[in-house]
């Protein structure tokens, strides 16, 4: 039996933290009290204008490859989950591959599932490895969401941040990923979208992130609870045998409500939203890497990673670390 096992994790945040008070000082009509009370967010990182998703992905990947004890040339598959790619094409994954100095490598492609992107990418890489076609995958979530924020819309601009997280996933005879569950329902796409297009050299439509926050909130709590139950049932692992729940980091209240529905206490939930804000596809691997490096996540523990995002998409990965 071939399993896909996490061999190493890495992450990267650009620049210094930008606090809620820093946003107020920049002229946004908000307050630290409002943001912290409604979302749990205290700070986020914002990339400099010339920093791209592939650069953040590179920094996170170097750390993950080092933690895995392998070389870039050992990687035979790269999947980058992002909604803020460097270009329309080539893919951020091929740009990352070039930055890593991998020539004549295996497949490299981007995956678009917004905030569920990392769960989708991890589940996809797992299928490649379990099939025997690939041995070592680099799976990355990398975002510069600050580029698609309307800084005049206080209902959204205070919520998001930039960053990247990565894992090296390798073939192993030991578990590994135990179960995955991915879902989508495109009929909900208007409640969270960036409805702009590039057309004949200019942007048509709206190039900024638009969101119906309350609709997203309710949807997120429901599907995050459902998919956590689904993936644990699939693996035959009771929820109370999961050591850490690592959900998408959008809002601490979404995590608390999901935890309550599942009967998972907050002591078992990894939450980095206070320091990172919502970094979309980067949020789960960023949270994972932080918990690995601060010693909370240990080898042999069971982790439940789950995300929800635009599309709408949602999904979960249960793994033994």
Binder of ligand UT7 out of 36, 213, 239, 301 (CB under 6 A): 213
Alpha carbon separation from 96 to 16, 49, 51, 101, 235 (Å, rounded): 23, 19, 13, 9, 33
Does residue 250 interact with ligand UT7 by CB under 6 A? yes
Q: Name the active-site residue from 20, 45, 115, 276.
A: 115
Closest CA relative to residue 244, chosen from 315, 183, 310, 300: 300
Could you tell me which stretch among 48-56, 122-130, 247-255, 297-305 binds ligand UT7 (CB under 6 A)?
A: 247-255
Annotation says 248 is catalytic: yes
Q: Name the active-site residue from 45, 248, 276, 290.
A: 248
Burial bucket for residue 267 (CB in 10 Å: 0-12, 13-18, 19+): exposed
Minimum CB–partner distance for residue 272 and ligand UT7 (Å): 14
Residue 19's contacts (CB-CB under 8 Å, 6 or more residues apart) are 32, 42, 43
Binding characters for ligand UT7, 86-125, by CB under 6 A (x = yes): -----------------------------x----------
Looking up tokens 């170097």 gives 62
- The residue among 99 and 154 lying less far from ligand UT7, judged by its C-beta, is 154
Binding characters for ligand UT7, 51-90, by CB under 6 A (x = yes): ----------------------------------------
Could you tell me which stretch among 29-37, 54-62, 136-144, 170-178 binds ligand UT7 (CB under 6 A)?
A: 29-37
Could you tell me which stretch among 11-19, 67-75, 144-152, 206-214 binds ligand UT7 (CB under 6 A)?
A: 206-214
Residue 303's contacts (CB-CB under 8 Å, 6 or more residues apart) are 242, 243, 244, 246, 288, 297, 318, 319, 320, 321
Looking up tokens 């004949």 gives 200
Q: Give the three-state DSSP class for 233.
A: helix
Does residue 321 interact with ligand UT7 by CB under 6 A? no
Alpha carbon separation from 210 to 116, 142, 258, 310 (Å, rounded): 17, 20, 24, 10
Angle between helices 283-293 and 117-130 (to 10 degrees): 80
Binding site for ligand UT7 (CB under 6 A): 30, 34-35, 38-39, 115, 154-155, 158, 192, 211, 213-214, 216-217, 220, 250-251, 254, 278, 309
Q: Which residues are catalytic?
A: 115, 248, 278
């Amino acid at each position: 039996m071939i399993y896909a096992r996490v061999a190493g994790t890495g992450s990267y945040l650009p620049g210094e933290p930008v606090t809620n008070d820093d946003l107020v000082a920049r002229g946004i009509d908000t307050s630290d009290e409002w943001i912290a009370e409604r979302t749990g967010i205290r700070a986020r990182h914002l990339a400099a204008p010339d920093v791209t998703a592939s650069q953040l992905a590179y920094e996170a990947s170097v750390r993950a490859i080092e933690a895995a004890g392998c070389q870039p040339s050992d990687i035979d598959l790269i999947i980058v989950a992002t909604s803020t790619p460097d270009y329309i094409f080539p893919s951020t994954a091929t740009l990352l591959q070039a930055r890593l100095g991998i020539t004549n490598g295996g497949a490299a492609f981007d995956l678009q599932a917004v905030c569920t992107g990392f769960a989708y990418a991890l589940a996809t890489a797992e299928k490649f490895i379990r099939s025997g076609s690939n041995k070592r995958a680099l799976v990355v979530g990398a975002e510069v969401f600050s580029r698609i924020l309307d800084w005049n819309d206080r209902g959204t601009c205070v919520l998001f941040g930039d960053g990247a997280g990565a894992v090296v996933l390798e073939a192993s005879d030991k578990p590994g990923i135990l179960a995955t569950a991915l879902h989508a329902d495109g009929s909900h796409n208007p409640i969270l979208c960036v409805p702009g297009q590039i057309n004949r050299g200019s942007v048509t439509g709206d190039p900024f992130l638009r969101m119906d926050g309350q609709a997203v909130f309710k949807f997120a709590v429901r599907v995050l609870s459902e998919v956590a139950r689904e993936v644990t049932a699939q693996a035959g692992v009771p929820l109370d045998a999961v050591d850490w729940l690592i959900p998408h980091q959008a809002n601490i209240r979404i995590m608390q409500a999901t935890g309550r529905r599942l009967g998972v206490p907050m002591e078992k939930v990894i939450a980095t939203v206070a320091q990172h804000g919502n970094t979309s596809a980067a949020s789960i691997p960023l949270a994972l890497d932080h918990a690995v490096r601060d010693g909370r996540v240990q080898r042999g523990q069971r982790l439940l990673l789950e995300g929800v995002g635009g599309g709408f998409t949602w999904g979960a990965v249960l793994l033994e670390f």
